[in-house]
């Protein structure tokens, strides 16, 4: 939720009833809490990140976050040892809280913490970019089948025609092309790493996939614009846990779909292996099923459902539990 595009709905006061409204005024009487609310409304941030952008000691920020969370103004999500917070759903529906959000936005805009938070979120992406540009994993032998193939087959089994266009977002070395290219009339495979696209090109050439188009680009780039609204299928395999803003990324993936088109997002069930943050440049330690369904709903997708998937063997993430989000564009 972003404050600059926020219009408060008319609802009853939340979460305080008329008998204890004075406690709400007392809670919001400290500027640091107004700033925390505004930052949490702009982006989901960890307590440590909030302390960094505000220039406050983390124990002090934790204390204020706890007070706002107990009042149901902030929602939290745990990622290993980190706790991320965001503005609670419908919190801004209260007129007093909506006014507090506007006041907080003025404060964080003036002191620069809102800009620092945005820069910090953008910097989350740096490790992933460097990993895939400079390393990107070992390429498979030319004729080897991808070890993830059973997972991909299970993920795509529920899908039926039409098969005019499939888009593979974050194609990497093009392993999914072995499944998509024989099925769809046309396949567009995107990746932001030139090193990975070179491997995908080698696979395309070796397999003779003339219906596959490889494009370099990020979801925010112009390279995606011509594909918006045209795909019968969009697949994003293990992409979301690298996304600085998962909700925004899911909305962008949905925008690539034609009406009635299907989205398949393959990712991890929440786990506690923080080594992947270093070894694979992962930003997030998986996503819960209810969280994926919520994000799909916020992106305007329908029929969202999450199903377990078999993990691949012989990969660095084979020890994790995988699942897939399936949803359609209305």
pLDDT tens, residue by residue, 66-80: 999 999 999 999 998
Residue 64 makes CB contacts below 8 A (sequence gap 6+) with: 30, 32, 33, 36
pLDDT given at position 10: 37
Q: What is the mean pLDDT of residues 157-186?
A: 88
CATH number assigned to the domain with residue range 149-329, chosen from the 4 options 3.40.50.1360, 3.30.300.30, 3.30.70.1140, 3.40.50.150:
3.40.50.150
- Phi, psi angle pair for 313, to nearest 5°: -95, 150
Q: What sign does the dihedral 137-291-262-5 (CA atoms) show?
A: negative
Neighbouring CB atoms inside 10 A of 227's CB total 20
Do the beta carbons of residue 39 and residue 114 sit within 8 Å?
yes
* Cα distance between residue 244 and residue 250, in whole Å: 11
- Distance separating alpha carbons of residues 11 and 165, to the nearest angstrom: 43
C-alpha separations of 278 from 102, 131, 242, 285, 312 in Å: 38, 9, 12, 12, 20
Would you state the pLDDT for residue 2? Answer: 42
What is the model's pLDDT at position 153?
Answer: 65
Where exactly does CATH 3.40.50.150 map onto the chain? 149-329
Residue 220 or 273, more confident: 273
Domain 3-111: which topology? Arc Repressor Mutant, subunit A (1.10.10)
| Over residues 273-297, mean pLDDT | 94
Q: Which residues of the chain does CATH 1.10.10.10 include?
A: 3-111
Selection from 143, 153, 147 nearest residue 313 by Cα: 147
Q: What pLDDT is stored for residue 136 in this prediction?
A: 54
DSSP β-bridge partners for residue 169: 190
CA pair distance 275, 108, nearest whole angstrom? 34
Is 296 within 8 Å of 250 (Cβ atoms)? yes
């Amino acid at each position: 939720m972003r404050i600059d595009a926020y219009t408060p709905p008319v609802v009853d006061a939340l979460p305080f009833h008329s008998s204890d409204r004075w406690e709400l005024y007392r809670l919001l009487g400290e500027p640091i809490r107004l700033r925390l609310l505004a930052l949490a409304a702009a982006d989901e941030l960890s307590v440590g990140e909030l302390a960094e952008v505000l220039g406050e000691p983390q124990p002090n920020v934790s204390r204020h976050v706890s007070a706002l969370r107990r009042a149901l103004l902030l929602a939290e999500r745990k990622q290993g040892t980190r706790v991320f917070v965001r503005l609670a759903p419908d919190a801004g529906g209260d007129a007093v809280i909506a006014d507090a959000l506007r006041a907080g936005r003025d404060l964080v805009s003036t002191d620069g913490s809102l800009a620092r938070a945005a820069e910090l979120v953008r910097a989350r992406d740096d490790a992933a970019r460097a990993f895939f540009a400079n390393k990107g994993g070992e390429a498979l032998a030319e004729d080897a089948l991808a070890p993830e193939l059973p997972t991909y087959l299970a993920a795509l089994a529920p899908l039926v025609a039409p098969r005019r266009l499939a888009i593979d977002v974050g194609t990497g070395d093009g392993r999914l092309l072995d499944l998509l290219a024989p099925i769809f009339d046309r396949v567009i495979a995107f990746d932001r790493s030139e090193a990975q696209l070179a491997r995908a090109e080698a696979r395309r050439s070796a397999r003779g996939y003339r219906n596959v188009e490889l494009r370099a680009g990020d979801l925010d780039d112009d390279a995606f614009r011509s594909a918006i609204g045209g795909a019968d299928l969009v697949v994003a395999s293990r992409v979301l846990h690298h996304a600085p803003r998962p909700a925004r990324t899911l909305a962008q993936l949905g925008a690539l779909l034609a009406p009635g088109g299907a989205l398949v997002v393959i990712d991890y069930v929440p786990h506690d292996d923080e080594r992947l943050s270093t070894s694979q440049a992962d930003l997030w330690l998986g996503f819960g099923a209810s969280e994926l369904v919520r994000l799909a709903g916020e992106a305007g997708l329908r029929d969202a459902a999450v199903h377990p998937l078999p993990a691949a063997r012989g990969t660095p993430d084979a020890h994790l539990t995988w699942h897939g989000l399936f949803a359609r564009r209305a």
